[in-house]
């Protein structure tokens, strides 16, 4: 599903739905961009139950992602994915706006 040019992969939607189902108090994954991190900006992932009036809402296959408008500026054109491989499990954001990123994948610069 695409909203404001942010795409949520099927794998990410499946994982988000499973995580939220295990926590009765939460109903969405909030993704935000914050200042800091080794490359300038970092992604923050939190479970949330309260949608703000100005949130961008992305839904797919029973999963909901909330993104605030300021974070969306830095995430336009991105894909939120979930990777499960020999190195571990993690949400990854494939961001075409990032000109550099760190090895951990949660920090980037534009």
Does pLDDT of 2 surpass 50? no
pLDDT band at 49 (very low <50, low <70, confident <90, very high): very high
What is the reported pLDDT for 34?
Answer: 86
Please count the structural domains in the chain.
1
CATH number at residue 105: 2.60.300.12
What is the reported pLDDT for 11?
Answer: 96
Instruction: Quick: pLDDT tens for 81-103.
Output: 999 888 788 888 988 877 656 55
Instruction: Please state the pTM of the whole predicted model.
Output: 0.83
Please answer whether residues 93 and 78 qualify as being in contact, where contact means their C-beta atoms are separated by less than 8 angstroms. yes
- How far, CA to CA in Å, does 67 sit from each of 18, 39, 72? 19, 21, 6
Smallest CA-to-CA distance from 72 within 13, 6, 9 is with 6
Token pair in block for residue 87: 């190195």
Q: Which domain holds residue 26?
A: 2-109
How do 63-67 and 2-3 pair as beta strands? unpaired
Determine the length of the chain. 110
Residue that wins the pLDDT comparison between 41 and 103 = 41
What is the reported pLDDT for 37?
Answer: 59
């Amino acid at each position: 599903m695409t909203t404001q040019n942010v795409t949520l992969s099927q794998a990410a939607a499946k994982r988000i739905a499973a995580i939220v189902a295990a926590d009765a108090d939460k109903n969405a994954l909030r993704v935000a961009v914050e200042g800091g991190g080794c490359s300038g900006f970092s992604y923050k992932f939190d479970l949330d139950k309260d949608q703000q009036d100005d949130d961008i809402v992305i839904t797919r296959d029973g999963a909901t992602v909330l993104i605030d408008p300021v974070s969306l500026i830095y995430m336009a054109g991105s894909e939120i994915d979930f990777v499960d491989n020999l190195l571990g499990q993690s949400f990854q954001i494939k961001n075409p706006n990032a000109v550099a990123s760190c090895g951990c994948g949660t920090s980037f610069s534009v």
